[in-house]
Chain A
Amino acid sequence: MTDLAMRGRDVRLEGVSITYPNGFTAVQPTDLVVEAGEFFSILGPSGCGKTTILRTVSGFVEPTDGRVLIGGEDMKGIGPNARPTALIFQNLALFPLMPVWENVAFGLEARGVGKKARRQRAQELLELVALGDQGDKLPSELSGGQRQRVAIARALAVEPAVLLLDEPLSALDLKLRQHMRAELREIQKKTGVTFIYITHDQGEALTMSDRIAVMNNGVIEQVGTGDEIYSAPESAFAASFVGEVNALPGHVVATDGAMARIETASGQLVGRNPKSLEPGAQAILFVRPEQMVFGDPGNVFTADLKRRDLEGAFVTYEFLTPTGQSLTLHQTNTGTLAPMAQEARIGFAAQSAVILPEGPLARTGRELAAQ
């Protein structure tokens, strides 16, 4: 496997912005550094500009402003066929009329490698993705997961320094998707290639990535490890897009060191103030459902239990306060469930909540379904 080891390179975007000829700005001026050999995800809803960034790195889109550097080299004027990148398309784009091995060897063919050497290299790569005996089949004869792996082998064949993946798992069913996550991670580790992975699926981003960029409306809102983004979100969008969250809008009334007090429709609440908001600022307090508890840990509500979903290992409670604020609470299943249709006291500790400037929230599943 040593001969398959490749060296990843870093990718830097310096002030890159992309405006389409019709005047739509897909990506606002962006600085981004992806380290060499990193598994980096760009996470955001559809239309947020993440695919445009990917196409800019691969060379299909020239930035309107700013520059793209790969391994320190300015990519200006260098076409997709001359960049040290390989792109895995959302629909995979396998060549339907070529057998699997020719698909994998296509990049080598383009580089003038002889047929025998091509065939041998294709075989090695097919074995890397556990398809050693499928080389002579046509892509249409393979299953979805196998096709996925052919696309990966084909991209790796050109020994890219950076592999760009555009939601490659979205067409697979859940089980296979989860399996492929682990497999992608493993291939990434084995080859040392820099992976830039585009997804709207936070689960994918959280499980696979070294670091994640959360993107919305052409702006990268936060870059960090999954843990950082989940536990210490820096924007209202990042907080609401990654994981479930209770959002309580209001305005800051007082600050005390790293903490702030916010006036909401459900009363005054205290949480962390990482953005150093001043009193008077419009803000939203975010708290994760698993940080919510029964009782009075500092911030407290009296609310009616509206829904109770037992999901095996844990229980989801949905409460409604008298002011109309809905609150979700996750609890591990201890064997005794809180009684339905009853008023309860629930709350959260100030340290577990974060107060962030007011901003657009990610759409909830219900809002998406209503579209």
Chain B
Amino acid sequence: MKSDRLLNIYTGLFLVFMFGPLILMVISSFNNISPPSVTEWRGFTTKWYSFFWMPQDELRADPVLRVLDRDRLISCFGNSIWVALIVVPLALLLGLSGAVLLTRWRSKANGVLWWVLLSPMLAPGVVLGLGALVFWGQVGINAGLFTIIMAQVTFIASYPMLILMARLQRQPIELEEAALDLGASPFRVFRRLTLPYLAPALVSAGVIAFMASIENYNTTMFAKGGACTLATEIGAMGRNPNGHPPVINAIGTVIITITVAGALLHTFLLSRERKGG
């Protein structure tokens, strides 16, 4: 069938556009040339990876690596992790509150509230970053890790909210009514019924919030002041007019590997849960 072939071609092109750049990035992360290239092969190397732990003298001997500030890159990465570790619980807490409010509170204001709570996700990231910068500046807090966290939470909280809402909407309201009827306080209903029911969705939402925080660039860029995260630092390195060092490709490859592994694990756990339930 002709339409089938068109569809196949479309699918093929789609996959090429999506994965082509990633594949090139992975290949060039093993090529001994800087700036990275796949057209010119200068031999296999893992030094763009071992950059992070190689001894100082070896580092100083390499003409490309010796101009890079390894300690700064590592400390920016540390910042990213710290920020994410604080953003995730905050986003889960806010997202959970929003989800419970929007699914359980029957009010005419619900429609408006839905858009208000969701708008940060739709607003341009630079606006959020700038907003956080200005607001906290007025309060008297200088831009830094704190403003990064505040700016990120404003929109990252929407992801858990959407995920948790989808799950809450599938929980029959009778379950909560039955628990109330049996004498449970609303808090006990939440702890014994709603929370266990939401547990898998909370894990998913946490992972997604974590990723969203780690990879965020535009909002963070505006809110960061003098601080840095991995994303902003990679951005800074990437803006080098002489081309970026392949170390960035190596970081990218590691991130892809972790993401794919995480997705596979998630699928595996999900299928096991389905079989179990």
Contacts and interface: CB of A to CB of B under 8 A. Distances in A.
Interface of A: 58-60, 79-82, 85-87, 89, 91, 93, 95-98, 106-107, 109-111, 140, 154-155, 157-158
A80 B182 CA distance: 8
A91 B183 contact: no
B181 A106 contact: no
B263 interface: no
B175 A111 contact: no
Interface of B: 172, 174-175, 177-185, 188, 192-193, 196-197, 277
A91 B174 contact: yes
Given A97-B196, A110-B185, A140-B277, A79 B175 contact: no
A80 B188 contact: no
B183 A82 contact: yes
B7 to A, nearest CB: 40
A95 B184 CA distance: 13
Nearest to A90: B174
B222 to A, nearest CB: 43
Nearest to A140: B277
Top 3 closest pairs, chain A to chain B, by CB: A107-B182, A93-B178, A93-B174
B179 A60 contact: no
Nearest to A157: B182
B181 A87 contact: yes
A83 to B, nearest CB: 8
30 contacts: A58-B181, A59-B181, A60-B177, A79-B180, A80-B177, A80-B180, A80-B181, A81-B182, A81-B185, A86-B181, A87-B181, A89-B177, A93-B172, A93-B174, A95-B175, A96-B175, A97-B193, A97-B196, A98-B192, A106-B182, A106-B184, A106-B192, A109-B184, A110-B183, A110-B184, A110-B188, A111-B183, A140-B277, A154-B182, A155-B182
Contacts of B277: 140
Contacts of B174: 89, 91, 93
Nearest to B106: A21
Nearest to A83: B181
A95 B185 contact: no
A307 to B, nearest CB: 43
Contact residues of B: prevailing secondary structure? helix
A79 B182 CA distance: 11
A89 B185 contact: no
B193 A95 contact: yes
Name which of B172, B182, B185, B196 has the most chain A CB atoms within 10 A of its CB: B182
A111 B196 CA distance: 20
Nearest to A59: B181
A96 B188 CA distance: 16
A304 to B, nearest CB: 51
Nearest to A58: B181
Contacts of B182: 81, 86, 106-107, 110, 154-155, 157-158
Contact of B197 (A59, A97, A158): A97
Given A97-B197, A110-B185, A140-B277, A81 B180 contact: yes
A59 B178 CA distance: 12
Contacts of B185: 81, 110
A82 to B, nearest CB: 7
Contacts of A140: 277
A109 B180 CA distance: 12
B14 to A, nearest CB: 39
Contacts of A86: 181-182
Contacts of B178: 87, 89, 93, 95
Nearest to A87: B181
A206 to B, nearest CB: 28
A155 B180 CA distance: 12
Name which of A91, A93, A107, A155 has the most chain B CB atoms within 10 A of its CB: A93
Contacts of A87: 177-178, 181
A273 to B, nearest CB: 46
B158 to A, nearest CB: 27
A110 B181 CA distance: 10
A155 B181 CA distance: 9
Name which of A85, A106, A155, A158 has the most chain B CB atoms within 10 A of its CB: A106
A81 B197 contact: no
B181 A81 contact: yes
Contact of B184 (A81, A89, A98, A155): A81
Contacts of A96: 175
Contacts of A111: 183
Nearest to A60: B177
A109 B277 CA distance: 25
Contacts of A158: 182-183
A29 B128 CA distance: 55
